[in-house]
Structure 1
Amino acid sequence: MGAIHDDIRAWLHRQADWIQEAADRLLKKGQLGRDDLADLYALIKTDAGRAVTKTRPFHELLNGVAAGSDVRLRSVSQVIGIENLSPAHPLVFGDGNLTVVYGNNGSGKSGYTRLLKKASGKPRAQLLYANVFEAAPAEQKCQIEYASQGAVKSSEWHAGGAPIDALIALDVFDSEEAGFYLRSESSASYTPPLVAMFVALAAACDDVKRLLEEDQDRDISALPVSPAEHVASEAVQSYNSLKATIDAKAMEALVRWSDEDAAQLHSLGERLNATDPAGLAQTKRNAELATRRIVEKILQAAAAYSTDALVAIRGLRQTANIARKAAIDAAQVNSAKLDGVGEDSWRAMWAAARAYSQLSYPNRDFPVTEEARCVLCHQPLDEEAAHRLQEFETFVQGEVEATAARAQKSYHDALKALPEPVPAEVYCAQLQTAGLTDPGWAAYLEAYWKAIAVARQALITHELTEAVQPAQDSEDACTKLTIFAKALEAEALQLDKDAKDFDRDLAKRQKTALEGKHWVCQQAEAVRNEVARLKRVQALEKLKALAHSRPVTTQAGVVAEQAITQAYVARFNAELKKLGAGRIQVELVKSKMEKGSAKHRLQLKSAKGKQPLELVLSEGERRIIALAAFLADVCEKPFPAPFVFDDPISSLDHDYEWAVATRLGELAKTRQVIVFTHRLSLYGAMEDIAKKIGEPVKGKNFFQTCIETYAGKAGQPVHQATWNANTTAANNLLIERLNAAARAGKEGGGDEYRDRAQGICSDFRKLLERTVEDDLIYAIVKRHRRSVTTDNKLAALPIIETGDCDLIDRLMTKYSYYEHSQSDEVPVPIPEEAELRADLEELKQWRKDFGERRKVVLA
């Protein structure tokens, strides 16, 4: 077996770590519990668990198997509601290894067999029904007594309950088992530890796979059902056929609803509802114009209040300020009596004086100094004042002042050119015309133009309090509005075409497709969740593939071929020979591996074509090969499990019957064998075999009993009687019965005596037959027995004398009248109690004397 161990270890080192972990636990513990499966389930989900390692030694591969417990059946009693069994006393199986229970048809043999089969949890045990001729019982139960590990135990077992653990090792052969081995593929009942590990490992794979499937079952799709009206939409079809393999780009495209999509859907709706396409086209163009005007105003403001524009205005302001300061600095008129010449207020006054002078002194150059008055104070101008005015004018007309004036003009012109914010009533009307009803647009423009108003005012007041910020970035808004305007333009063009030729069916299909897409986009979150779920399911599918038991089953087949099949076939062939059926052309072959377990079946050997066994073999041949298959299967167990056989010789001839009896006797050497039979021939053959085998089967280890049906109640154990007790005991039993009959006669009269005495006479006749077999001819030849047993007994035959034969013949003749029916014309009276007792005592004494004579001869 060393090569098998090495091969198994090498195979395990080629498996994923979670498989190795499962095998390691099985080898150490023998079975996997719920916690073990949970650990394996968690391990297969990890990268480490799916990796292949070669570090585990698997020392336990070399360990043997512990022997099972020595279980023995002792009795069945208190049967209630099971079949038609209702024994008044326990059915006892004796203390020895070989028990034969005899009973006629319908006496309860099969009932007891089915009860024991069900109580031991056999896979093909039938349901136990109550007696159909009686009212349904409240419960179905019985008491089963057994010995386990030397201790006697008793269990109340209910027909619908779990099997008795201690009896699981029990093996039962009946008609159902025979049919199973003939017609079905079967696994060997006993599986060697190495193969058992693979069977359990395959089961563990299935259990882990089941846990993964339960994960999948719990991960239920929450994807809403698509509306029937959108089922033809391409988007809905993609939605209904989501796959875990969909990439992020495709998924986002599926659930993205753009403004263009919304505009297109809206346009299609309008086109389909439009009764005046040309008029609607003009409305679209008006909306386009309004939209473009909004964009135009925003762009103007954006340009005017951009960073570069602000820099330019600030540059003009700085230039004007510098020029003015230079002009002020240059305005040093010596004749001036007051400060401030050249300042803004002075220049304003001077400009006003110039204009006023044209009213007072028209057509005369300013300032008028000859024969004139001061236009400011109206005082006559003296020479000094006239000179001062001329100096002032010279300053004003000078280059420095001109430069300052130009700079200031450029600055003020720039301020005047700043665009004013669009009033709310204007842009609201534009939005209304454009069809931009989204409140976001109104809010955007309100904020935008408020910012522009603040900026313009700050610039006009020369940013005295705070610096102006550039206008907010409007590129995105203008782009959207421009796209919207272009869409309006396209819609208008489309409506122009519609006015001439409108494909309404195409438009409807396009609208339906967009509506389907819109519905799908509304389920965006559900779609993302579903794809995530599908990815989880896909991952579990891959894990389920890793947990498939097929690789384990394949390897189990290799191991089972060496450890089970070859040995199983050899045992079957050996059993055929032991049962005298070696000539039957039948063979046991391995048919397949299933879940790590090797399946075998019976088939005809070298047959032309695949003919069923039932069509070729006789009923007896089928029975004997089924028995051989059963024994080859169950006899390999390393612990002495009890056997129960229900009429194992059904349909067998006397040759097969003797072979079966011999084999059962051999089995009884090492384990308890219980045989139920209705054939006295097997009953006698088992007794003969027990004597031939000797210890540990004969004597107290061989137990015979009988069951019968009485008053519709089957399974009634029968007390020892003349037919199954030894002749001495039977003789004494009849005397005891005669005593009881005499007492009944005294109390109840002659009829009471005669009713009982009739049976005693009949049984006395049977006892005389047994006396001839067992005493007179010393059991050398017996009815229902195949063999002639000498065993040094022939020397006792010469002691038989004429008187012995006369006694037996006289009594046989006399009591035959009570065993067989007689003529009514010659009635045979029942012997009186004294006469019957005398005959019984006479036979008893003769047996004692004859036995003493035989001892002398054989001494």
Structure 2
Amino acid sequence: MQAQVDIRSWLHKQNDWLQEAADRLLNKGALGQDDLADLVALIKTPVGRKPSTHRPFAELNQGNAAQQELRLIRIGEIAGIENLEPRRPLEFGIHNLSVIYGHNGSGKSSYTRILKKLSGKPRASELKTNVFKAAPPASKCHITSQLNGHESAHEWHVGQPVIEALRDIDIFDSEEASHYLTAESAATYIPPLVSLFEKLAVVVEQVRDMLTAEQSKLVTALPQLPVIYDGTPGKRLYESLGTATVAVLNDALIWTPENEKHLAVLAERLKTEDPAALAVQKRRTKAELQKVITALTDAARAYGGESIQSIRDLRQTAKESRQAAVEGAKIKTAELDGVGLPTWRAMWEAARLFSASPYPHDAFPVSHDQARCPLCHQTLDELAQRRLQEFEGFVQGKLEADAQNAESRYSQTLERMPKIPSEHEITTQCEAAGIGEQGWPEFFKGFWQSAALARAALASHEAAQPAVPVVSQAANISALTDYQGELEDTAAQHEADAVQFDRVQATKEKLALEARRWITQQAVAVRAEVERLKKVKEYDDWKSLTNSRPISTKAAEVTLAVVTDAYVARFNQELRALGANRIQVELVKTRTRNAVVLHQVRLKGAQDARTQPHGVLSEGERRIISLAAFLADVCEKPGSAPFIFDDPISSLDHDFEWAVACRLVALAQTRQVIILTHRLSLYGVLEDLARKVSDEWKAEHYRPMRIESYGGAAGHPADQDVWNAPTKKANNILLNRLIDAKKAGEAGGANAYRALAQGICSELRKLVERSVEEDLLNKVVLRHRRGIQTDGRLRAIQGILVEDCRLIDELMTKYSCYEHSQSTEIPMIIPEEAELRTDLEALSTWREQLHKRRAAAV
């Protein structure tokens, strides 16, 4: 088939995920949540978003599924639904043509509304409870159906889901008639080849909905940018995160110390009223900072490892020089050891100072004959004089001089080491230098404490413990020097501001920096938002692939060839079958929506194309046209499902009524047809047409029924009555009723008997009339019938005797008073049970003898 080849070719041009959806639909008929989840996963892959040709789509060549036969068997146990309270179920049985007669208000439409609702018809009315009674505990009914010969019972409650097994029921009523005449509608039955597109469009929408649902969970956690930053570059960046490059984003999310300093300078500039004075203050702070830097530099050098090692070297040199001097001071004339030691030298120098008092004009040591020892005051002998001269020669010698010089350098170096400031002095210095915050005071206190420990160790000549050098301060000195440069730059800026300052521009620049700083503080949220926006963009791209328009376009193309032409042909055929082909209407395709092709009945040849049939045609024409559209729509469905018609001939004349009845009987040849009507004429026509098919078919498939209302409740199936039963059976019905009347009389007296017997008399009068039509005249002429039936019937009308006419005349005269009103002066006496039985049996006997006479004559 060319359509199959065309569809396969079209599918191979679609993206892989859509091909997968079509393949699963062809195999399964419907997709579940797992299938949809697989399609959503596939559309997210590069492979799923590209066409492929590996699927054969062999299912396109397969025919329709096996046909099924669905029948309604009965509906009953109705409670709490409108005013239906049937005493027993409404039985449809195995008959193909069920005709249910009932007066207005007997419950026909209520049954129709229930069946529409529980079978899921789109225009089903909401079911109500009986408004004249208290709300029932439950609104429900029981319905029995048969599928391929197997019965199933269903209990259905109002508000529950539809009964899936009964979805295929087709129902025609006033609402359906209006819909087919006025609205756009899709063909009820779509061949699988075409329904693939409708299902595919639904799946596409479902995939899109699932993607949308997933996308909706990508909720932003990005904080709202403060309104004050509107108009800044940061605001523009914040609103365009989805398009920002990696380089731009990385740069925007870094906040450097330089940025912070720049912001602080701007803030200070903006809040300064006297920039010249502030420039002076900055330079004063700079000068104080220089003192701190100098002190730190000197102390770091003095108490550093190199300096301490130098001091140690000086100490060692002094020690070694003194040792050499001591060794050199070992004079031969000395009587005691220790000459040259510090204590000895101190004593010698003290003696030198003292000698100047008694011998102010003599050089020390005085050693002439009159001189005395400055220490012991004894006179000096020659040995003592020589010893004093040797002592002085030692003191004035090179070794001693070297020792003194070495010791002097060592002592002076210790003295020159920087003094340790107090904690108060440190705090004051830091405040004055503008570094009273950010931990500088604590740093300096720790540094000077380390220096103090080193100084103490050196002062004690490291006798107890070695001096620990302070840590290198190059980094801190560099930082302080940089800050000093900043102070200078700030001072220069303030001096420039004193001359000219664009405060508006500076304010904008400050806001821009603040906005940037605020954004960097949200860096985690910003990067998360960028990733979210990327994901949202991915979902938008995926959703763009779920456009059902191409599917609808292809569906329209295929449907035009496979569905629309056939639908239009069926509509025209139904118009001819219903005798309505003279009405100027046509069924046309209007548009395609979600791969579903819509059709509508239009006037044919109207000057104004906008003119609608319902505004021009008569009520009867509208009814017959809508019935044709309904039949054209539903009759093509495969299988056999019940057709239910609620007053199908409403507003139709006798010609259309006959055509409709013929069509309904034709439908009943292949499926179950249930007709609800209040027109006795249709009732009679259908019976004739059923007999016209064949007596056997009528006996097997024609089922006349009646429903009635009583006491505010409707839908009661009534027993077969005299008016719709064969005359022989009707005669027996009246005899059985007479038995009930007799029992009532025996129990309740004459009044109880007469209450029932009067109805029997009235029904007997009607039965006599029907006996004339159906027995005496062999149904050649019947009331409520379209014409006279002569075919095969006239020959049987023979042998009518005077006695026949006399009996009929007597019974008609005797019982007319019970069917027609009488004068009040003439009393209407109900016959006794025996008399009434005699007349009923006489009529029955006459009928039997008449048929026997005619059968013998033939």
Fold in common (TM above 0.5): yes
Asked whether the equivalents of residues 758 and 830 of structure 1 are also in contact (C-alpha less than 8 Å), the reply is yes
SS at match of 1:599: strand
TM-superposed deviation, 1:57: 1.7
Mapped partners of 2:631, 2:270: distance in 1:
87
Correspondence list, 1:821-840, <5 A: 821-840=821-840
Asked whether the equivalents of residues 579 and 624 of structure 1 are also in contact (C-alpha less than 8 Å), the reply is yes
Mapped partners of 1:574, 1:458: distance in 2:
124
Note closer, same or farther for the CA distance 1:832–1:249 as it changes in structure 2 (3 Å cut): same
In structure 1, the partner of 2:718 is: 718
In structure 1, the partner of 2:645 is: 645
Identify which range, 579-588 or 646-655, moves more after superposition: 579-588
In structure 2, the partner of 1:531 is: 530
Mapped partners of 1:770, 1:134: distance in 2:
41
TM-superposed deviation, 1:56: 1.6
In structure 1, the partner of 2:320 is: none
Asked whether the equivalents of residues 565 and 590 of structure 1 are also in contact (C-alpha less than 8 Å), the reply is yes
Note closer, same or farther for the CA distance 1:718–1:509 as it changes in structure 2 (3 Å cut): same
TM-superposed deviation, 1:222: 1.9
Aligned residues: 837
In structure 1, the partner of 2:376 is: none
Asked whether the equivalents of residues 197 and 551 of structure 2 are also in contact (C-alpha less than 8 Å), the reply is yes
Asked whether the equivalents of residues 242 and 531 of structure 1 are also in contact (C-alpha less than 8 Å), the reply is no
Asked whether the equivalents of residues 189 and 633 of structure 1 are also in contact (C-alpha less than 8 Å), the reply is yes
SS at match of 1:698: helix
Note closer, same or farther for the CA distance 1:226–1:666 as it changes in structure 2 (3 Å cut): same
In structure 2, the partner of 1:682 is: 682
Asked whether the equivalents of residues 201 and 552 of structure 1 are also in contact (C-alpha less than 8 Å), the reply is yes
Note closer, same or farther for the CA distance 1:830–1:259 as it changes in structure 2 (3 Å cut): same
TM-superposed deviation, 1:494: 6.0
Mapped partners of 2:79, 2:537: distance in 1:
55
Note closer, same or farther for the CA distance 1:75–1:278 as it changes in structure 2 (3 Å cut): same
In structure 1, the partner of 2:3 is: 4
In structure 1, the partner of 2:242 is: 244
Mapped partners of 2:117, 2:645: distance in 1:
14
Q: Any idea what the Cα deviations from partners look like across 1:110-157, whole Å, max 9, x if unmatched?
A: 000001111112222111101101111111011112222322232221
TM-superposed deviation, 1:167: 1.0
Mapped partners of 1:610, 1:120: distance in 2:
35
TM-superposed deviation, 1:659: 1.4
Identify which range, 475-484 or 110-119, moves more after superposition: 475-484
**Which residue identity does 2:698 align to in structure 1?**
K
In structure 1, the partner of 2:60 is: 61
Correspondence list, 1:548-567, <5 A: 548-567=547-566
Mapped partners of 1:599, 1:533: distance in 2:
41
In structure 2, the partner of 1:101 is: 100
TM-superposed deviation, 1:417: 12
Mapped partners of 2:285, 2:605: distance in 1:
96
Mapped partners of 1:721, 1:596: distance in 2:
53
Match of 1:232 among 226, 230, 233: 230
Note closer, same or farther for the CA distance 1:293–1:91 as it changes in structure 2 (3 Å cut): farther
In structure 2, the partner of 1:19 is: 18
Identify which range, 38-47 or 248-257, moves more after superposition: 248-257
TM-superposed deviation, 1:477: 3.7
Matched, 1:439 2:434: no
Mapped partners of 1:248, 1:261: distance in 2:
21
In structure 2, the partner of 1:150 is: 149
**Which residue identity does 1:154 align to in structure 2?**
A
Q: Any idea what the Cα deviations from partners look like across 1:537-570, whole Å, max 9, x if unmatched?
A: 2211111112333333333333322232222222
Mapped partners of 2:452, 2:42: distance in 1:
69
Identify which range, 691-700 or 585-594, moves more after superposition: 691-700
Note closer, same or farther for the CA distance 1:783–1:521 as it changes in structure 2 (3 Å cut): same
Mapped partners of 1:126, 1:685: distance in 2:
31
Asked whether the equivalents of residues 27 and 59 of structure 2 are also in contact (C-alpha less than 8 Å), the reply is yes
Q: Any idea what the Cα deviations from partners look like across 1:747-804, whole Å, max 9, x if unmatched?
A: 3222222211111111112112222222122222322222433332221224434443
Mapped partners of 2:282, 2:434: distance in 1:
9
**Which residue identity does 2:125 align to in structure 1?**
Q
Note closer, same or farther for the CA distance 1:13–1:526 as it changes in structure 2 (3 Å cut): same
Asked whether the equivalents of residues 571 and 632 of structure 1 are also in contact (C-alpha less than 8 Å), the reply is yes
SS at match of 2:797: helix
TM-superposed deviation, 1:72: 1.0
Matched, 1:199 2:161: no
Correspondence list, 1:1-400, <5 A: 1=1, 3-228=2-227, 230=228, 232=230, 234=232, 237-238=235-236, 241-263=239-261, 265-267=263-265, 269-270=267-268, 274=272, 277-290=275-288
Any gaps of 5 or more consecutive residues in structure 2? 315-330, 332-339, 341-348, 356-382, 406-411
Asked whether the equivalents of residues 223 and 526 of structure 1 are also in contact (C-alpha less than 8 Å), the reply is yes
Asked whether the equivalents of residues 308 and 467 of structure 2 are also in contact (C-alpha less than 8 Å), the reply is no
SS at match of 1:723: helix
**Which residue identity does 1:215 align to in structure 2?**
E
Mapped partners of 1:181, 1:480: distance in 2:
90
Mapped partners of 2:484, 2:620: distance in 1:
100
**Which residue identity does 2:494 align to in structure 1?**
A
Note closer, same or farther for the CA distance 1:380–1:17 as it changes in structure 2 (3 Å cut): farther
TM-score by length of 1: 0.81
Mapped partners of 1:5, 1:233: distance in 2:
61
TM-superposed deviation, 1:80: 0.6
Asked whether the equivalents of residues 101 and 683 of structure 2 are also in contact (C-alpha less than 8 Å), the reply is yes
Mapped partners of 1:433, 1:853: distance in 2:
148
Note closer, same or farther for the CA distance 1:467–1:297 as it changes in structure 2 (3 Å cut): closer
Note closer, same or farther for the CA distance 1:295–1:780 as it changes in structure 2 (3 Å cut): farther
Note closer, same or farther for the CA distance 1:247–1:704 as it changes in structure 2 (3 Å cut): same
Note closer, same or farther for the CA distance 1:542–1:419 as it changes in structure 2 (3 Å cut): farther
Mapped partners of 1:51, 1:507: distance in 2:
55
Correspondence list, 1:419-438, <5 A: 429=428, 431-436=430-435, 438=437
Mapped partners of 1:447, 1:109: distance in 2:
105
TM-superposed deviation, 1:694: 3.3
TM-superposed deviation, 1:305: 13
**Which residue identity does 1:251 align to in structure 2?**
L
TM-superposed deviation, 1:293: 6.5
Matched, 1:819 2:819: yes
TM-superposed deviation, 1:289: 4.5
Mapped partners of 2:538, 2:605: distance in 1:
50
Mapped partners of 1:701, 1:167: distance in 2:
21
Correspondence list, 1:493-512, <5 A: 493=495, 496-497=498-499
Asked whether the equivalents of residues 448 and 472 of structure 1 are also in contact (C-alpha less than 8 Å), the reply is no
Note closer, same or farther for the CA distance 1:749–1:291 as it changes in structure 2 (3 Å cut): same
Note closer, same or farther for the CA distance 1:534–1:437 as it changes in structure 2 (3 Å cut): farther
Correspondence list, 1:664-813, <5 A: 664-694=664-694, 697-813=697-813
Note closer, same or farther for the CA distance 1:800–1:215 as it changes in structure 2 (3 Å cut): same
TM-superposed deviation, 1:582: 1.6
TM-superposed deviation, 1:275: 5.8
Mapped partners of 2:8, 2:443: distance in 1:
75
Asked whether the equivalents of residues 301 and 307 of structure 2 are also in contact (C-alpha less than 8 Å), the reply is no
Note closer, same or farther for the CA distance 1:613–1:241 as it changes in structure 2 (3 Å cut): farther
Asked whether the equivalents of residues 229 and 512 of structure 2 are also in contact (C-alpha less than 8 Å), the reply is no
Q: Any idea what the Cα deviations from partners look like across 1:34-80, whole Å, max 9, x if unmatched?
A: 21122222222222332332212222222223235422111111111
Percent identical: 47
Q: Any idea what the Cα deviations from partners look like across 1:253-303, whole Å, max 9, x if unmatched?
A: 544444455445545555565565544443333344555676788899999
In structure 1, the partner of 2:317 is: none
Q: Any idea what the Cα deviations from partners look like across 1:690-732, whole Å, max 9, x if unmatched?
A: 1223388522211110011111111011111111111110011
In structure 1, the partner of 2:494 is: 492
SS at match of 2:661: helix
